Amino acid sequence: MARLKDLIHKPEILSPGHRMCPGCGAPIAVRQVLMALDDPVVVCCATGCLEVSTTIYPYTAWRSPFIHNAFENAAATISGVEAAYLSLKKQGKVDKEIKFVAFGGDGGTYDIGLQSLSGAMERGHNMVYVCYDNGAYMNTGIQRSSATPRGADTTTSPAGKVIPGKPAARKDLTAIMAAHNIPYVAQASPSHWNDLVEKAKKAFAVEGPAFLNILAPCPRGWRYDAKDTIEMSRLAVDTCQWPLYEIEDGVLRITYQPKEKKPLTDYLKPQGRFKHLFAKGNEQLLEELQAEVDKRWEELKQRAACQEAK
């Protein structure tokens, strides 16, 4: 178990003074991931909020080697860095143990970067890919992505007179990554920092590729008060909208069971992006959203139970 008093003494790789918004979930997730490291690391970022706000030339917030290439290719880029490491290590030109991590938002991961990510995972590079999932293209101004929950109001899925927000349900990227049969896949939330750091430790420790999907609430895009970021991520977990689990060598384990599963509306209500769902006439949609969460949660529990029984 990670202990807070140990973690706070870890040198911060992402230094303060970067220009992410107050209350942004992404740097919290990134810092928790990097706290799991004991070895030096090379960081790669997809184009997005995290990249543009931490590397405004001539400044950089990164105390580790860092590369940004483009939007859709963080996985391919870090795979090239890792290949160079393997080659130079074999030749005796590099002797240190070095880790490799890529960070991408949900746009750069679920959508435009999915092919590059799938390729890198299949090839088996020794790398960790972290998706900080804030559920939309926040950097370009809150456009819907395939990670946007059904019903959410975004600038390209606006809640209009006829269509109440995004019509389609979220893509289950964690399951897609698990289907690559890589050594480690996990879903985490910054509200459960201990669980997150442990998962990051496992991800860095395995031989081969690992994938972490981390919920990163966005005060601007979700429309809640910036001080409530951790509360939002906690509500996502406690309503089972964002279950915490891992798949280690093919074995699925739910790492946190809410004592009392809260109704989905507890998560939706504080967020401006779901405000229209509480207007008269959308009761049916709210019920459908709750049913969808229940269904996915039950399926997940069944899979975990099946494996326990084996």
First to last CA, the chain: 26
d(CA 10, CA 190): 17
Contact 132, 29 (CB under 8 A): yes
Question: Which is nearer to other proteins, 79 or 134 (by Cβ)?
Answer: 79
Residue for token digits 């990163």? Answer: 216
Of all helices (H) and strands (E), which one includes residue 82? Answer: helix 74-90
Question: Which is nearer to other proteins, 75 or 254 (by Cβ)?
Answer: 75
Contact 189, 29 (CB under 8 A): no
Closest CB 146 distance from other proteins, rounded Å: 19
Closest CB 234 distance from other proteins, rounded Å: 32
Contact 53, 17 (CB under 8 A): no
Residues that bind other proteins (CB under 8 A): 40-42, 44, 51-52, 55-58, 60, 62-70, 72-73, 76-81, 83-88, 90-91, 94, 96, 98, 115-116, 118-120, 122-123
Closest CB 121 distance from other proteins, rounded Å: 10
Contact 126, 100 (CB under 8 A): yes
Closest CB 112 distance from other proteins, rounded Å: 10
Closest CB 175 distance from other proteins, rounded Å: 20
For residue 188, report the phi and psi dihedrals to the nearest 5 degrees. Answer: -145, 170
d(CA 209, CA 128): 6
Closest CB 35 distance from other proteins, rounded Å: 18
Question: Which is nearer to other proteins, 80 or 270 (by Cβ)?
Answer: 80
Question: Which is nearer to other proteins, 91 or 284 (by Cβ)?
Answer: 91
Question: Which is nearer to other proteins, 38 or 308 (by Cβ)?
Answer: 38
Closest CB 80 distance from other proteins, rounded Å: 3
Structure tokens at 211: 């994938």
Closest CB 57 distance from other proteins, rounded Å: 4
Question: Which is nearer to other proteins, 102 or 236 (by Cβ)?
Answer: 102
d(CA 104, CA 107): 8
Structure tokens at 64: 């580790």
Question: Which is nearer to other proteins, 122 or 283 (by Cβ)?
Answer: 122
Question: Which is nearer to other proteins, 95 or 249 (by Cβ)?
Answer: 95
Structure tokens at 117: 């990510």
Taking Cα atoms as reference points, which of 96, 94, 42 lies closest to residue 69?
42
How many Cβ atoms are within 10 Å of 25's Cβ, its own excluded? 26
Angle at 7 between CA 4 and CA 11, to 5 degrees: 155
For residue 79, report the phi and psi dihedrals to the nearest 5 degrees. Answer: -65, -35
